[in-house]
Amino acid sequence: MEEKIASLRDVLKEADRVAALTGAGISAESGVPTFRGDEGLWRNYRATDLATPQAFARDPELVWEFYNWRRELISKVTYNPAHRALVELERIVPGFTLITQNVDGLHLLAGSRNLIEIHGNLWKVRCTKCREITLDRSPDMGTSPECKLCGGLLRPHVVWFGESLDPDILQQAIATSKACQVMLVIGTSSVVQPAASLALEAKSGGAVVAEINLESTPHSPFMDFTLHGKAGEIVPKLVENWA
């Protein structure tokens, strides 16, 4: 493992265009629920039943109760060493871009700036009437939050099940993946599309692709590096002894 980490670090040092793709695994190490199995239940509802446009249209107050619960949970956790190491990587690599599937905002909180949040951000709200997007870190938004500009009903600015990703953001993520020389795929199962295809885009563009995950994924066989373990232990080692 240490040899693999050292080899990957050497590859990173030679690159000036690096991308990282992060998933639920990196946040799970901070204590953020992954909403799989028993963690996916809230008052006997499954997250997949409430995080939909149909559920919001039917009962927006119930959906906001669920999101206020999530906000309260996530307000109590913070970024971990893997998040911070990616901030350091952004500092030392000229062309570094972080693409995340996570909506918890921990990358922003840690200090990442060149960031593409393909599934949105739990701490942002979007007006259903005027479409204005604002950041609001209140743990409790109430069950009928209103837009300060037009009075319209606010909704979480996240991509729900059954919704398409913002095409501009998706294209930005694809272009970044195609152009990078190295891609780190961290804490993602590589099964949720279209994010799962970004590593393939990087690979087809000639990039060295490294997977950092607790276990193997469907993409493991074509990875140049596969590092099994906690992101919070592995990623910081990639930015050690850089000079």
**Residues with active-site annotation:** 119
Query: What tokens appear for 175 in the block?
Result: 């272009």
Give the SS3 label for residue 15: coil
Distance separating alpha carbons of residues 111 and 206, to the nearest angstrom = 29
Distance separating alpha carbons of residues 71 and 142, to the nearest angstrom = 11
Residues in Cβ contact with 196 at an 8 Å cutoff, skipping those fewer than 6 apart? 188, 190, 218, 219
H or E element at residue 109: helix 106-110
Distance separating alpha carbons of residues 10 and 4, to the nearest angstrom = 10
Q: Report the candidate in 111, 157, 107 with the shortest Cα–Cα distance to residue 132.
A: 157
180 with 97: CB under 8 angstroms?
yes
Distance separating alpha carbons of residues 48 and 133, to the nearest angstrom = 23
State the DSSP code for 223.
-
Give the SS3 label for residue 124: strand
